[in-house]
Chain A
Amino acid sequence: MGAFELNTTISNLRSLQESDLSAYDAVYLGNIYCRIFEDNFLERMNDLKEGIARVKDQGLRAYVTSYAGPRNDALPKVEMALETAAAAAADAVEVHNLGVLRLIHEQYPGMPVHIGGFANVYTDAGTAVLKEFGAVRFTPNYEISLDEVRAITAAVGIPAELLVHGKMPLGVSDYCFLLEYESHWPEKCPVVCQKQLFLRQGDWAMRSVGKGVLSGKDVCMLEHLPTLLAAGHKAFRIETAYETPEYRLGIARIYRTALERALAGDGTVDESVWQMIREHTAVGLCNGFYFGRTGGEYIGSRAETTAAC
């Protein structure tokens, strides 16, 4: 890894083909929420193989993610995806389920594993256990603060990957409530969850992707990047699994520029950049739980972003 890594998530080959990835260093392939998401890489091994090759051909690292809550009947497919990842020389596999971590440790002991945000990393002792099972990087549970993340990296010695922009996962289900309503709408499964759907009540809002619930606001750590770099963090994720190619590219360009400037000693962000962020933001911005506060709050100079959850 260079001075930093900026990565994102792409669920299928169509989305990969439509995306300009020039601002990224790495891509996670696959949709973690739903097995029947449109042409999910994790269900289509030829697509996954092609996706890994396409990402690597662009000089980027190719990671393969895995399901957030795989029940027994999903495990054979998970094993096929692992086999494909190994055969196509994916650079790492992301794991949200500890049973899958154990499978990899047993069947592919040398495979680098990134622990995902649904694996519930809260403590240094827990991370140490996962390291024994082959973890080389972890996304902390979204509920923990930067201070807690620092305590883990210092104690365990593996790096954290931080969600710096995008909608933060808030929950995962085995059930898609959209299926109850899709007969009312022109779009059906498996594409209806890709619409910009929000659950709202008063000033509360959450993004719904069927089996997943995401924050309504976009996590935005743009003005805090110098702090993250100073703390030694290098791996940053822009969560775009359910975003447009324009969002994927636009936000990544902003963060790449800001990270390069911050590394050069300039931690400022131009006002025009905030305007661009606003254009890509439906509800508002927040910092998640990084500062030990309510997840929907925003701490920093952009106080006008805190209107709703």
Chain B
Amino acid sequence: MIELLAPAGNLEMLKVAVENGANAIYVGARGWSRRRDAYELADEQLHEAIGIAHSGGAKLRVAINTNMQSCELPALLEKMEKFVNWGVDGAIMTDVGAIAQVHRRFPDLVIHASIGANIVNNEDVKFYRSIGVSQVVADTKLTLRELAARKADVDVGIEILIHANNCYTYLGKCWMSPYHRLERTRDDFGKDLFRGSPNRGGLDYRVCLEQWELFENSVLLEPHIALKNNAFFYLDDIPALIDLGVHCLKIQGREYPVPLVGRIVRFYRELVDSYLAEPAERFDLTPWRLRLEAIREERDSKRSNMTLVLLNEARQPVPHPV
């Protein structure tokens, strides 16, 4: 059975995602995932989250997918030990060294290679497989043809982002944001938050979404350049993804309002269930398109507002450089 994986930026969102039919939820460990700390959970909250998810019949995965510093690896292993003892169902990770160490220490833990690992070809999948990964998040540019080839070639669980953003650059291979602003701050537990670097766990200032002008040296060539960064909401492809046997459909959005995430999860839950209940040749996507449009409008509006705030923050001086 295909799994619907939902985000939770707080415990309330987690409850709503479970109530609306998510099979699994992912949360970020505070300071250790690709979102700002406001949308991550402290350890004790994470403990509670595992209980809430399990009592609702869902799995709980922890995103611990920053590119950390070498000196932070012991702290990561200590944290993972707690999470494993509490019964976490999987870890979403990026750094190959951290993955290898966690796999050695906790061989039964399911490790998911994060979107930040930027797995773009089948050989990549085999590499991550060899160091202990059993599920991979497909990069956002993967085509159905590539997906079919991957399914045929490699024994691995494949997760597809169905409701997310497609950056101009490959996720995990971009540091435009900290090039413009990087603020080094430590949380109460000594974790460096790298504010401005999504790869390292801080927020992304989305500088790619600035209204760029293109110059050749000092001559203006184009006054309005938009680097493609589109939200995407898979709908038409979902039947094909299910038919191809992908393991998991993943929704992004830990930073969105709880009711919106609830509606998104409910939408995809009902869509998947309806498709599975009805013969494929009779399945009509028309009513689903209308429902999705309303969700898209709300989501786009929230995201646009957030982008303006982030771009403004990116231009603020760094207060206390280390």
Tell me whether A282 and B217 are in contact (CB under 8 A): yes
Q: How far is the CA of A31 from the CA of B315 in the complex (A)?
A: 33
Which of B124, B131, B169 contacts A171, CB < 8 Å?
B169
In the assembled complex, B120 has its CB within 8 A of some CB on chain A: yes
In the assembled complex, B184 has its CB within 8 A of some CB on chain A: yes
The 0/1 profile, CB within 8 Å of A marked 1, for residues 77-96 of chain B is: 00000000000000000111
Q: How far is the CA of A172 from the CA of B149 in the complex (A)?
A: 24
Minimum C-beta distance from A71 to chain B (A): 5
Tell me whether B176 and A128 are in contact (CB under 8 A): no
With A170-B176, A294-B196 as given contacts, are A98 and B214 in contact (CB-CB < 8 Å)? no
With A123-B70, A125-B98, A184-B221 as given contacts, are A68 and B200 in contact (CB-CB < 8 Å)? no
The residues in A between 115 and 157 inclusive whose CB is less than 8 angstroms from any CB of B are: 118, 120, 122-130, 133, 141-144, 148, 151-152, 155
Q: How far is the CA of A202 from the CA of B217 in the complex (A)?
A: 15
The 0/1 profile, CB within 8 Å of A marked 1, for residues 156-198 of chain B is: 0000000000001110111110111110100000000000110
Tell me whether A68 and B173 are in contact (CB under 8 A): yes
Q: How far is the CA of A130 from the CA of B97 in the complex (A)?
A: 9
- Kindly list chain B residues whose C-beta atoms are within 8 Å of the C-beta of A199: 212-215, 225, 227
In the assembled complex, B127 has its CB within 8 A of some CB on chain A: yes
Q: Which residue of chain B has its CB nearest to the CB of A126?
A: B97
Which of A130, A204, A208 contacts B207, CB < 8 Å?
A204
- Kindly list chain A residues whose C-beta atoms are within 8 Å of the C-beta of B221: 181, 184-185, 197
With A125-B95, A208-B214, A213-B169 as given contacts, are A170 and B174 in contact (CB-CB < 8 Å)? yes
Tell me whether B182 and A289 are in contact (CB under 8 A): yes
With A127-B97, A197-B214, A200-B212 as given contacts, are A120 and B173 in contact (CB-CB < 8 Å)? yes
In the assembled complex, B291 has its CB within 8 A of some CB on chain A: no
- Kindly list chain A residues whose C-beta atoms are within 8 Å of the C-beta of B71: 151
Tell me whether B168 and A173 are in contact (CB under 8 A): yes
Q: Which residue of chain B has its CB nearest to the CB of A208?
A: B214
With A97-B120, A103-B123, A129-B96 as given contacts, are A309 and B173 in contact (CB-CB < 8 Å)? no
Minimum C-beta distance from A165 to chain B (A): 16
Q: Which residue of chain A has its CB nearest to the CB of B171?
A: A171
Tell me whether B96 and A141 are in contact (CB under 8 A): no
The residues in A between 277 and 294 inclusive whose CB is less than 8 angstroms from any CB of B are: 282, 289, 292-294
Which of B101, B121, B141, B226 contacts A125, CB < 8 Å?
B101
Which of A98, A125, A141, A200 contacts B213, CB < 8 Å?
A200
Minimum C-beta distance from B142 to chain A (A): 9
Q: How far is the CA of A204 from the CA of B227 in the complex (A)?
A: 15
Tell me whether A123 and B98 are in contact (CB under 8 A): yes
Q: How far is the CA of A133 from the CA of B128 in the complex (A)?
A: 12
Tell me whether A296 and B121 are in contact (CB under 8 A): no
In the assembled complex, B135 has its CB within 8 A of some CB on chain A: no
Tell me whether B215 and A122 are in contact (CB under 8 A): no
Minimum C-beta distance from B69 to chain A (A): 6
Tell me whether A128 and B179 are in contact (CB under 8 A): no
Q: How far is the CA of A152 from the CA of B318 in the complex (A)?
A: 28
Tell me whether B182 and A293 are in contact (CB under 8 A): yes
Q: A155-B70, A198-B216 are in contact. List 17 more A-B contacts (CB 8 A).
A: A69-B173, A98-B124, A102-B124, A120-B173, A122-B68, A126-B97, A129-B100, A141-B67, A143-B175, A171-B168, A171-B169, A177-B225, A213-B174, A293-B321, A294-B178, A295-B175, A295-B178
By a beta-carbon cutoff of 8 Å, the part of chain A in contact with chain B is 68-72, 74-75, 97-103, 118, 120, 122-130, 133, 141-144, 148, 151-152, 155, 168, 170-175, 177, 181, 184-185, 195-202, 204, 206, 208, 213, 215, 282, 289, 292-296, 309
